Amino acid sequence: MTGHVIVTDDGPIRILRLNRPEKRNALTDAMYEMLSEALENAAVSKSVRCVVITGGPEAFTAGADLNDFLHAAQHTEGLRPQTIRFLHRIAHAGKPLVAAVEGVAIGIGTTMLLHCDYAVAAIDARFATPFVNLGLVPEAGSSLLMPRLMGMRRAFELLVMGRALSADEAKVLGLVNEVVPAGEVEPEALKAARQIAALPAEAVAASRRLIRGSTAEIVRRIDEESEIFRRRLRSDEAKAAFEAFFSRKG
């Protein structure tokens, strides 16, 4: 299980690699826990100056494991504590975050990018947030951050209508910085991370706080979304959507 997130340090760069290719890197409770711990450790580390989050050639991540969602729906839970911990941690991330995105980035795979400082995507990457299709609501503070990034109408298109984005569209909307051939994604992300790590660390941290604005506001929105998410999981719409999803898989 621990092999589903591989944490390595390359000089001042911490690399968090999602490694569950058989499930397109769908995130489990254990994976959320490992990501949170790695980010928490990086935040207080004197040697780590930038964090890179990456996946595999077929998937950055297909989002949260829907089996966990189904368990939550059946047991009247909301977002799992492990998920909430990760969302709080990525909002509070003490070091710059760089994302390297290949393949699909679904749900949290897209919304976590709103917390990253720099993102590189493969030319064939695809982004989607199908929360409403499952009878749910957006998470990770995306209902606050996405309209700020791209405007209310485009955010509605993604978060409510569930329309997917190509890599080029994601760049135009500001979700990613660079679009490169698939084999160049991680090298380009590491290049950017090294450029960031070479800058004066205290000046980077202070500038980053100014750019990102109030973390408390973001965390409040994460918690508000989570409470509505909890109620939505118990709704007839969500139950019907999950039953339909798993019947199709079967």
Instruction: Dump pLDDT digits (tens) for 154-183.
Output: 999 999 999 999 999 999 999 999 999 999
Q: Is the pLDDT of residue 152 over 50?
A: yes
CATH code for the part of the protein at 2-182: 3.90.226.10
pLDDT of 76: 57
Q: Is the pLDDT of residue 242 over 70?
A: yes
Instruction: Dump pLDDT digits (tens) for 77-110.
Output: 667 889 999 999 999 999 999 999 999 999 999 9
* Mean pLDDT (the chain, rounded): 93
pLDDT of 65: 83
> Any idea what DSSP says for residue 175?
S
Q: Is the pLDDT of residue 1 over 50?
A: no
Six-digit token string for 49: 């100056």
Q: HEC states along 196-246?
A: HHCCCHHHHHHHHHHHHCCHHHHHHHHHHHHHHHHHHHCCHHHHHHHHHHH
What is 48-114 written as a DSSP string? --EEEEE--SSEEE--B-HHHHHHHHHTT--S-HHHHHHHHHHHT-SS-EEEEE-SEEETHHHHGGG
pLDDT of 73: 59
Going by C-alpha positions, the residue among 164, 171, 167 that lies closest to residue 133 is 164
Residue 69 pLDDT level (bands cut at 50, 70, 90): low
